[in-house]
Amino acid sequence: MNFIEIKNFTEQLIAWQKKQGRHHLPWQENRTAYRVWLSEVMLQQTQVNTVIERYQAFLKRFPTIQHLDRASIDHVLAEWSGMGYYTRARNLHKCAQTVVDQFDGVFPKDPKKLEDLPGIGRSTAAAIAVFAYGQPAAILDGNVKRVLARVWGIEEDLSKGAAIKKLWGHAETLLPQTSADLVTYTQGLMDFGATCCTQSNPACLRTSSMTCPFMNICVAKKSNLIQKIPLKVKKVKVLKVDMKWWIVIHDGQVLLEKRAEQGIWAGLWSFPEEISLPKNVQQIDLSPIKHVLTHRRLNIQPKKVVLKKNLSKINDNFSWVAFSELSNLGLPTPVKSFLKDLIQAHDGA
């Protein structure tokens, strides 16, 4: 990269952000470290429209880092319910506890210190440092990687060390020299990747009012490599998993199991998959459920049992939960929707 390229890219991106970037996202108002951090973690694997809605609800329930620190993990997971990738919610909780315990409830300004906190990677640390504290630091999320790779024609696998090193080098070199431009530039990178240079339909290939300022310098455009950059790597094989759910009901309560901290729906509440029941209780096979996760295709067979008498003994990780208390627990999406139907049927019975 020569000086002209750097200067042009940075200046043009800043100008583009001012005219065509996003200016009214909820986390662009009152940019505290807590609000920036929360939005960044939510945006990691969730679409912006979903985040807009869930971000407001999360902040309403946990308005400050102290509220999040004091909350139980079940309440945090309940609020996160339906957004998937629950490790993010567990790390949010751990991170809030660490910031309150070790930093008196104030996120550090130094990106290196931010990076040491649970669930905060280098790019998220940089976003917090820039937006909340005006500290110079480079972001490099998936969208930014794609933009830089296309503009500079990086055809390698972007998940590999050599390419990542090169991209971080570019990202740091391109940072504006004046702190006044830092926020606009960083927001511009995010907005440009999310709305202009998108994965499958970048602005230069579509008819739209949005224009790309890099048409004349972008290597991917000039060399007809847009569909090849970023390089598509082979997808991980999706495994089929057969699962049994025991829907055990007694006295307006349902039996749930807190799942192990590893594996599918780690740490969330679901129906027991194995249980010892009294002899001769009636087991009703309900309609099977199919549910697709990132790397798993689940075939679930729910079996319903209504008990007149309570079980004499249940496992330590099982719990009877009243229907009215279910909203306080972190439940995987299919469990949540199954319970909703079950309660409606129960109320209508």
Where do contacts with ligand SF4 occur on this chain (CB under 6 A)? 150-151, 196-197, 202-204, 212, 214-215, 218, 220-221, 226
Select 154 or 218, whichever has its Cβ closest to ligand SF4. Answer: 218
User: DSSP string of 282-344?
Assistant: --EEPPPEEEE-SSEEEEEEEEEEE-SS--S---TTEEEEEGGGGGGS---HHHHHHHHHHHH
Active site annotation includes 40: yes
Neighbours of 17 (CB within 10 A): 22
Reduced to 3 states (helix: H, G, I; strand: E, B; else coil), residue 246 is strand
Q: What are the φ/ψ torsions at residue 174 (nearest 5 degrees)?
A: -80, -10
Distance CA 323, CA 222 (A): 60
Smallest gap from Cβ 16 to ligand SF4, in A, equals 10
Neighbours of 3 (CB within 10 A): 8
Are residues 237 and 304 in contact, defined by beta-carbon separation less than 8 angstroms?
A: no
Select 42 or 203, whichever has its Cβ closest to ligand SF4. Answer: 203
Residues 6+ apart with CB under 8 A from 105: 64, 65, 66, 69, 99
Smallest gap from Cβ 213 to ligand SF4, in A, equals 8
Select 195 or 328, whichever has its Cβ closest to ligand SF4. Answer: 195
Neighbours of 181 (CB within 10 A): 17
Smallest gap from Cβ 214 to ligand SF4, in A, equals 4
Distance CA 233, CA 126 (A): 27
Length, in residues, of the chain:
349
Select 131 or 185, whichever has its Cβ closest to ligand SF4. Answer: 185
Select 146 or 259, whichever has its Cβ closest to ligand SF4. Answer: 146
Distance CA 83, CA 105 (A): 26
Q: Which of 11, 29, 40, 261 is catalytic?
A: 40
Burial (0-12, 13-18, 19+ Cβ within 10 Å), 144: buried
Distances (CA, A) of 110 to 92, 123, 125, 126, 222: 19, 13, 8, 9, 39
Select 119 or 202, whichever has its Cβ closest to ligand SF4. Answer: 202
Smallest gap from Cβ 197 to ligand SF4, in A, equals 3
Smallest gap from Cβ 33 to ligand SF4, in A, equals 31
Residues 6+ apart with CB under 8 A from 340: none
Smallest gap from Cβ 123 to ligand SF4, in A, equals 19
Active site residues: 40
